[in-house]
Amino acid sequence: MDRPREACGVFGIHAADTDVARTAFFALYALQHRGQESAGIATSDGVSAALHKDMGLVAQVFTEESLGRLSGHLAIGQTRYSTTGSSHVRNAQPYLIETMHGPLGVGHNGNLTNAPELRRRLLEHGVGLTSSSDSEVITQMLAAPVNDGREQDPDWEARIDQFMQAADGAYSLVVLTRSAVYGARDPNGFRPLCIGDLPEGGHVLASESCALGTVGARYVREVGPGEIIRLDATSYHSISSNAAPRRGSLCVFEYVYFARPDSVLEGQTIHRVRQRLGEALAAEGPASADVVVGVPDSATPAAIGYATASGIPYTEGLTKNRYIGRTFIEPSDRLRRSGVHLKYNPLEANLDGKRVVLVDDSIVRGNTAGPLVALLREGGASEVHVRVSSPPVRHPCFMGIDMADSEQLIGYTNTVDEIRAHIGADSLYYLSQEGMMGAVAHEADSDGGHCNACFSGEYPLELDGYWEHRDKLAFQSAWSESE
């Protein structure tokens, strides 16, 4: 489908007298939308550690038997979509290794832009790597700091801080040690991470607040950019990293598409922000129409906002098969040619003879907007006016989002009118960048900013030399896959 894909969701828990593996399972289930390629959970009882991970959805990876083998009072988990590192079980997370100071597990959401340089440093120090994932690089850097050959005391906070000073790019981490679970967020705050507490005692870390409600935890606050959090037997503790502070750059696509609508970011419910995006879109891009229809499910709040602001009634025009994307069985050529029919069906009773405003949250490659327009016409729509609650995506992302290269982005290679003709719409309007940023920042409880580089091309990080590094890493990934 024509959607950018996230890197992953992470979760961590420290809680006595709690089935931490089962709690992590349900938290990952709530974070499934952030990654559907692999899932894993690592646990520790303070002496030994256990790990189970595999390719597939959370419910496919874990069974009662596998969860029963994961004992302890500390756990981390991750559900993954690969950006750096191929889609292979060797790249599945968390990583778990044994160190001279006990077990060390790492789950990572994001993308290190200087990962090849960090890999080279590790290899020069004699550290062997088994995967092409930058998450393994993080694990080995924490296990054996690359700028000091001396035997280290098990000061995990200092090691995490040292990593943060060396790393560039996006990362929200959960780290499992013998006695504590740590969380860390990069100094730009690209990827989200929050803290919750459990009513029976204990604390958790999660990529999104929606996972907290699922496991019965109370939302406490977000982890700040450049902050390290330690969960131990007493409480949670905040440690400031010595990594150079930077302007906050939370990914704006979390608001547009990635985060679940019931999650809270910067004090704002995602659903309400998406409604504001739709309201701004109605003000900027009005249309003469009879009904407003949203692309299920991510564009539904924006469609409701558009309908509210425009006075045009909202209705369901597309029914989504929510299970078709949860199989690894490849469709036949005939079914593949059916395209969006595999995932959507039109509601003819709501569309017949109607002028329709179709609201979508984004158009990335442009390979499903056209079939969706055609599907509405098949359902009887007399006109289809497409409205997009974000600007044209014109630039790739290097901070952990699979956004494709520029040449694959329809907004980079075509004008708006050319895109309208390509998708077969009667009219097309994208929300302006100013309108999007105004809706996102309207009530944000944050002094920082947001990264909108995929729209603006203005990256908050220096990317000199990244292309060469990325090409080398892609080669290494292909080589490891062939092996």
Regarding whether 281 and 168 lie in a shared domain, the answer is no
Regarding whether 313 and 197 lie in a shared domain, the answer is no
Number of domains in the chain: 2
Regarding whether 303 and 159 lie in a shared domain, the answer is no
pLDDT for 472 equals 47
Examine residue 478 and state whether it is found in any structural domain, yes or no: no
Regarding whether 360 and 222 lie in a shared domain, the answer is no
DSSP 69-121: T--SSEEEEEEE--SSS-SSGGG-S-EEEEETTEEEEEEEEEEETTHHHHHHH
Regarding whether 233 and 287 lie in a shared domain, the answer is no
Number of Cβ within a 10 Å radius of residue 435: 21
pLDDT at 420 over 70: yes
CB-based contacts of 307, cutoff 8 Å, min separation 6 = 278, 282, 292, 313, 314
pLDDT for 473 equals 46
pLDDT for 399 equals 81
Regarding whether 276 and 219 lie in a shared domain, the answer is no
Annotated catalytic residue within 8, 210, 397, 451: 8
Higher pLDDT, 459 or 85: 459
Q: What are phi and psi of 333, to 5 degrees?
A: -60, -40
Which range has the worst mean pLDDT, 211-220, 241-250, 359-368? Answer: 241-250
pLDDT at 154 over 60: yes
**Could you report the per-residue pLDDT of 268-299, keeping only the tens digit for each?**
999 999 999 999 999 999 999 999 999 998 89
Examine residue 1 and state whether it is found in any structural domain, yes or no: no
Q: Sorting pLDDT into bands at 50, 70 and 90, what band is 204?
A: very high
Regarding whether 275 and 240 lie in a shared domain, the answer is no
Regarding whether 131 and 280 lie in a shared domain, the answer is no
Regarding whether 281 and 244 lie in a shared domain, the answer is no
pLDDT for 304 equals 98
- CATH code, domain carrying 309: 3.40.50.2020
Regarding whether 303 and 432 lie in a shared domain, the answer is yes
- pTM greater than 0.85: yes
Domain, as residue range, for 78: 8-248
Query: At which of 216, 248, 280 does a domain end?
Result: 248
**Could you report the per-residue pLDDT of 58-106, keeping only the tens digit for each?**
999 999 999 999 999 999 999 987 554 445 677 789 999 999 889 999 9
Regarding whether 81 and 25 lie in a shared domain, the answer is yes
- CATH code, domain carrying 121: 3.60.20.10
Query: At which of 248, 282, 299 does a domain end?
Result: 248
Which range has the worst mean pLDDT, 137-146, 185-194, 220-229, 248-257? Answer: 137-146
Regarding whether 303 and 238 lie in a shared domain, the answer is no
Which range has the worst mean pLDDT, 128-142, 398-412, 446-460? Answer: 398-412
Q: Sorting pLDDT into bands at 50, 70 and 90, what band is 377?
A: very high
Annotation marks residue 451 as catalytic: no
Query: At which of 441, 458, 476 does a domain end?
Result: 441
